[in-house]
Structure 1
Amino acid sequence: MADRAGVSIVAGPEWDLVAAQLREADPAMPGNLRDALRKAADPIAEDTRRAALALPARGRKHSGLRGRVAAGVRVQPSTAQDIGIRFTTSMADPQEAELPRGLDNGIRGWRHPVFGNSDNWVHQRGGSWFRSTIADDRAQVQDALSGVLDEAAAAIAAAGASP
């Protein structure tokens, strides 16, 4: 199993209370909320993939690392215990498991062998393709959550108003 790096956006305890009340009012509500979370998160995941692909590369020889990192980005919306969205990135090759984190390590960077050659090590600086991209898009998630709660409130009000 590949190691993962991740960022979670977890709503506060008030959201857990709301989720419990929504489940009572309509069992389909948590599914609707999860769908809305995914709809809000998918463009953010795509932004992180684009940011990974846009990381600068030096030299003429490339291994496709940026493409493999971008391909590993996943979204996991949750309405079970803690309402939130988990963004993860993983690599298929366990030996590359730390590379997404290193690439997101900014100026501090990380040390690694050149193309797997353990006799030739370099210090490489990364960028901020993962955490900063997700943080920049945080308002989108907040808007989506607010929209879903507004829809849920309207549905509950309509259900309470019907005879």
Structure 2
Amino acid sequence: MENRLPDWIEEQMDDAIDPLVARAKSEVMTVDVQGGPAGHTGLRARVAAGVGVRKGISTKNNAYFRIYTSMANTAESPIPRGLDSPKGWRHPLFGNRNHWFQSRPTRTGWFTDTIADGADNIERAIANALDRAADTIG
């Protein structure tokens, strides 16, 4: 068996997933952090740049996709989840490891709520793709 989805299935999935990824990127740009410095430090832009999709075929020939967040700087890897959680994230204040600070977002769910809101559209796209595949085989 070939380890790749037909192009039309991938296109249908992309049509369902890409707007959701774009919306998550947009949502994180609207999150403010309580007690943080005034102004825009570029943190939210770095988080938005790290939102993406992994697609593929597993070793058991199961197709999958995963919407994820990552940070280019591994020291910042807790930040996307911290921006999505009421707990926030802990970090050294201005790099001073003797003084730690807890940053908390003023609202949560930029990632989890956005993805959950789009789940029905993705489910519909998968069902449509499977129906089309069944029609093609039949």
Secondary structure in structure 1 of the residue aligned to 2:132: helix
Scaled by the length of structure 1, the TM-score of the pair is 0.69
Give yes or no for contact 1:90–1:100 (8 Å, CA) kept in 2: yes
Asked if 1:84 is matched to 2:64, the reply is yes
Secondary structure in structure 2 of the residue aligned to 1:108: coil
Residues 11-50 of structure 1: CA distance to partner in whole angstroms, max 9, x if unpaired?
Answer: xxxxxxxxx8xx7xxx985443233222211111111101
Asked if 1:60 is matched to 2:60, the reply is no
Secondary structure in structure 2 of the residue aligned to 1:74: strand
CA deviation after TM superposition for structure 1 residue 144, in Å:
0.6
Pick from 115, 137, 142 the counterpart of residue 118 of structure 2.
Answer: 137
Residues 86-145 of structure 1: CA distance to partner in whole angstroms, max 9, x if unpaired?
Answer: 01111111221221121122x222221233333442212232211221111100101111
Letter of the 1:111 counterpart = R
Letter of the 1:116 counterpart = G
- Tell me the residue number matched to 2:101: 122
Q: Which runs of 5+ in 2 are unaligned?
A: none
Give yes or no for contact 1:30–1:79 (8 Å, CA) kept in 2: no
- Tell me the residue number matched to 1:110: 89
Give yes or no for contact 1:40–1:140 (8 Å, CA) kept in 2: yes
Q: Which runs of 5+ in 1 are unaligned?
A: 1-19, 158-163
Counting matched residue pairs gives 132
Q: What CA distance in whole angstroms lies between the structure 2 residues aligned with 1:46 and 1:101?
A: 17
CA deviation after TM superposition for structure 1 residue 82, in Å:
2.7
CA deviation after TM superposition for structure 1 residue 64, in Å:
0.6
Letter of the 1:139 counterpart = D
Letter of the 1:114 counterpart = L
- Tell me the residue number matched to 1:15: none
Give yes or no for contact 1:38–1:75 (8 Å, CA) kept in 2: no
Q: What CA distance in whole angstroms lies between the structure 2 residues aligned with 1:134 and 1:115?
A: 32
Report the identity percentage. 36
Scaled by the length of structure 2, the TM-score of the pair is 0.80
Asked if 1:100 is matched to 2:100, the reply is no
Q: What CA distance in whole angstroms lies between the structure 2 residues aligned with 1:97 and 1:118?
A: 17
Instruction: Name the structure with the higher helix share.
Output: 1
Return the index of the structure with the highest Cα Rg: 1
Give yes or no for contact 2:78–2:89 (8 Å, CA) kept in 1: no
